[in-house]
Amino acid sequence: MNDDQPVLLEKRGTCLRLTLNRPRALNALSHTMVRLLDEALSLAEQDESIASVLLSGAGDRGLCAGGDIRALHDDARASGRASLEFWRDEYRLNARIARFPKPYVALMDGIVMGGGVGVSAHSGIRVVTERSRVAMPETAIGFVPDVGGTRLLATAPGELGTHLALTGRSVGAADAVLCGLADHHVPARLLPALTEALGEPAGPGTSAVGIVQRFATEPTAGELAAQRDWIDGCYAADSVEDILRHLRESGVPAAEAAADELLTKSPLALKVTLAAVRRAARLDSLEAVLDQEFRVSSRVFEHPDFVEGVRARIIDKDNEPQWKPGSLAGVDDQEVARFFAPLGPGEQELGLAPGPAHDPVNEGQAE
C-alpha cells in the first residue's frame, strides 16, 4: 500500500479494502481513480482468497464529493473531449459494481455526492452513518444526474426521487435508506470494528451482509416520510412548470421553499433532469439507463450552463449564475428531446445495453 496513491489497496484477511485517497479534495474522483478501482475489482474477482470488497474514503469528511468538477469545467471551457472518456469509463465502472459477483460493501460515511453515489449506491451492501449526507446536486451547476443516479431516483418511493433530482438536496441516513440509496445504518464509531470483522475468515453460515447487520442500528428519524403527501402530490406533474405551480398552491411552507429552490437551478437542467428520471423509470436495466445518461452528459457538456454553473457555484462562488435560457419558458420540448437523441457522426455511444438506449413508451418524445 502506497499512501501517495489516489486509491489505496489493502488486503485484510479475506477482504480487499479500497480507500479513495484524496482527502483534501473530499476524495473527488479522477479518471486515474476510476481506472484503479476497475483494476482492483478485476483483482478481487480473480483472486479466490478474496471473499469481499470494502470501499471507504480517506479522512473524516466523506466517502466522495463526486467527480473532479474543476477538471471537467476546464475541459469544457477548452472544448476538450477528455471528460467524455472519463464518463465512459466511470459509467462502465458503475455497471460493473452493480453486477460484481462478490460482496461489495460501501461505507457511505459523511458526504457522498454525484460520482460518489455511483461507486457506492449500486453496490450490494450500502452502509450509512449518522454523518452521512447523500445527494445528486447536479442541477445547481447546470448538469443532470448521472452515474446511474436517474435509475436510483426513479425507483425511490413515490416522487421522492423526483424531488431529490430537481432540488439536488442531500439526505441523511434514514432518508437514504427510505429512498433506496442505502441499506443499513451503522454508527460511525463502529466502522473500525465493522471493517475488522469483514476481514475475518467467514464461518459456516456467515456472510458479509450478516456481519454488517450485527453492527447495524436504527437511524435517527428522517424528514421525507412525513413529507410524502405534498411531495408525491406536487412532483407527479408532467412538467417542471406544473410542479412549480403545485408547490406554490400547496399551502405547505416546505413546498414553497422547494419552489424557491428550484428557481435558482438551471432551467434547462431542470427540464432535462425531469425527462431523464421519467425515461429511466421505463428502461429495463441499469446499463440502458447509463447509455441514456452518457448521451445526456455528452450534450450537457457542450452547453454553456455547465461551465457557468461551475463558475458561479464552485470557482467564483458568487452564486449568481447567468443561465441560458434564463427561464423555463425559454426551454421547449424539442430542445429537451435533443439531449436524448443518438450521438452524431464521430461520436461513440456508451453501448452497455445489448440494444440501443431508447424509451419504449415514448421514443423521441420529451417529457
Bridge partners for 62 per DSSP = 110, 111
CB 54 within 8 A of CB 186: no
In whole angstroms, give the CA distance from residue 179 to residue 364.
29
Q: 66 catalytic, yes or no?
A: no
Amino acid, res. 46? Q
Query: Which entry of 62, 114, 115, 168 is annotated as an active-site residue?
Result: 115
Query: Which entry of 68, 138, 291, 367 is annotated as an active-site residue?
Result: 138
Q: 146 catalytic, yes or no?
A: yes
Q: Which residues contact 24 (CB under 8 A, 6 or more apart)?
A: none
In whole angstroms, give the CA distance from residue 294 to residue 348.
10
CB 105 within 8 A of CB 211: no
Ramachandran angles phi, psi of 143, nearest 5°? -115, -175
* The C-alpha cell that represents 275 in the structure block: 425527462
Query: Which entry of 62, 66, 67, 110 is annotated as an active-site residue?
Result: 67
* The C-alpha cell that represents 315 in the structure block: 470557482
**Cα 89–23–184 angle (5° rounding)?**
75
DSSP letters spanning 23-86: GGGTT-B-HHHHHHHHHHHHHHHH-TT--EEEEEESSSSEEE--B-HHHHHHHHHTT-SHHHHH
Q: Which candidate, 38, 54, 39, 17, places its Cα nearest to that of 208?
A: 54
In whole angstroms, give the CA distance from residue 240 to residue 47.
49
**Which helix (H) or strand (E) element contains residue 128?**
strand 125-128
In whole angstroms, give the CA distance from residue 163 to residue 235.
7
**Which helix (H) or strand (E) element contains residue 253?**
helix 253-262
Q: 67 catalytic, yes or no?
A: yes
Query: Which entry of 68, 75, 109, 146 is annotated as an active-site residue?
Result: 146
In whole angstroms, give the CA distance from residue 39 to residue 55.
14
Catalytic annotation, residues = 67, 115, 138, 146
